[in-house]
Amino acid sequence: MQADYVIVGAGSAGCAIAYRLAEAGKQVLIIEFGGSDAGPFIQMPAALSYPMNMSRYDWGLKSEPEPHLGGRQLVTPRGKVVGGSSSINGMIYVRGHACDYDHWAASGAHGWSYADVLPYFKRMENWHDSGHGGDPAWRGNDGPLHITRGPRKNPLTRAFVAAGRQAGYPVTDDYNGEQQEGFGPFDATIYKGKRWSAATAFLRPALKRPNCNITRALARRIVIEDGRAVGVEVSRGNKIEVIKANKEVIIAASSLNSPKLLMLSGIGPAAHLQEHGIDVIADRPGVGQNLQDHLELYIQQAATKPVSLFAHWNLRGKAKIGLEWLLWKTGLGGSNQFESAGFIRSKAGVKYPDIQYHFLPIAVSYDGKIVPEGHGFQAHVGPMRSQSRGQVTLRSADPNDHPKIEFNYMSHPQDWEDFRTCIRLTREIFAQPAFDEFRGHEIQPGDAAQSDAELDAVIREHAESAYHPCGTCKMGDASDPMAVVDPETRVIGVEGLRVADSSIFPRVTNGNTNGPSIMVGEKAADHILQRQPLAPSNDRPWIHPDWETQQR
């Protein structure tokens, strides 16, 4: 088996790369360990808590015991299925803030400023404003990735935006447009009531071409001869074989598995590789370092009226929703229920939002467990730019072993201050008149938790990952010893090898990371094809005019 370009991983970035290379007439072969994404649990947006908890679709990765979270091990779902994590995620689409990308460029990822990446976001999007306002001039409308908004019929969903306004924050029609800061409707990778994953948007159209194929196998290591990647060693059942790459190997296996594959191939921190008996091909100390994520807490409030989704949270209610969705792809089953968003700044002197809200008109957790209180609502909240950094390392030299994941959450003192601010600002929003007719008691953290120490105890016990791991194969200047890939996504020190997925983010973006991961695939494809990058955009994003002196 061979191809000009071999892509490891049919996830968010890998599917986009395959689509663009196949479109350009190149011979492409994708290696993916996971199976089909057929079936209602993945395709039905409201069922999102199922696939991320199913071993059939998820790698089942866990962090090591986290020292600052009371030794808890946190689950870190990653998609083991075509479409990767875009097939098991919450389908929320956030580009990130303009300043995120300007920071990337300033830190050595030249050519990845907001002006450079905005044209790629536009190229990949097919945005439907669905009558909820928005910013069409800033959006793409003929790309493969359909993006829509939920119906926003639930009164709690509308009350959240009204409460944000009453608390003195701006309202924004389109946080993915000119102005991220403020409260408004969420965008989602949902189309005609179905999940619109990277597999649906990019992979299926690519596989319709005769020059693009996919094979089910586990990538064990990259085969490197005379400093050049020439193929990928894979296992299929109990057989080990090599898939040859005539031109390049592109790793897009996720921020947790891409660094693992590099290290198994002899690319990484020399001492760590030698510890596991792996011959060092390129000593790159940054491989597996710089691990970042978003941590969040659910602020949960009981509702005094039966307006939440709790009314449907029983066998009969779920059956009715499921049937309507199976027959017509309509009703509650066609939404991820995250229909209102908020992006705010934690204090004066912060230039752009560093807190994100996901509002949900029910009190429930990601594993689908409902709060016994009955009707309620919640906001997921957490700091966007934590200074804590972790690492991904090898557990052993066996490719079947999961990597060792240490996020080192909350290891920076600033994180605790930022998180307490998140809780207090959320309480203030929930206390606005817009919620007066619905607001019962606070379920979590609960009214008893007020002091710094009490809030810290709640964070330690209840903070959860928002599932946005990234940064472990940092993109930067070729002269930066901690950079793993250069600004064209080429692995520094090895020919014919690239990494293009969320692992190359120099710093986590502001919001959900799926959109930026797909954008990385789109832009990497142009570098692989040696095309002139798309012309930079002149659009200037909105920054709060008084950000230096005002929090809102």
Summarize the annotated binding site for FAD as residue ranges. 81
Degrees to nearest 5, angle at CA 79 with 314 and 215: 130
Helical axes 413-430 vs 452-462, angle rounded to 10°: 100
Closest CA to 1 of 162, 216, 252: 216
Residues 6+ apart with CB under 8 A from 317: 311
How many of the other CB atoms lie within 10 Å of CB of 281? 19
Q: How far apart are CA 408 and CA 288, in angstroms?
A: 13
Of 132, 468, 527, 544, which is the active-site residue? 468
Q: What burial class does residue 416 get, using C-beta atoms within 10 Å of its C-beta: 0-12 exposed, 13-18 middle, 19+ buried?
A: middle
- Is residue 468 among the annotated active site residues? yes
- Which is it for the CA torsion 162, 167, 170, 174, positive or negative? negative
Residues 6+ apart with CB under 8 A from 225: none
Q: How far apart are CA 337 and CA 377, in angstroms?
A: 11
Helical axes 155-166 vs 413-430, angle rounded to 10°: 110
Q: How far apart are CA 493 and CA 471, in angstroms?
A: 19
Three-state SS annotation for 503-514 = HHCCCCCCCCCH
Q: How far apart are CA 200 and CA 198, in angstroms?
A: 5
DSSP string for 345-359: -SSTT--S--EEEEE
Q: What are phi and psi of 382, to 5 degrees?
A: -175, 165
For residue 244, give both structure tokens.
Answer: 């040859």
CB-based burial, 208-245: b 16+ in 10 Å, e otherwise: ebebbbbeebbbbbbbbeeeebbbbbbeeeeeeeebeb
Is the preceding peptide bond at 383 cis, omega within 30 degrees of 0? Answer: no
Please enumerate, by residue number, every residue annotated as part of a binding site. 81
Active site residues: 468
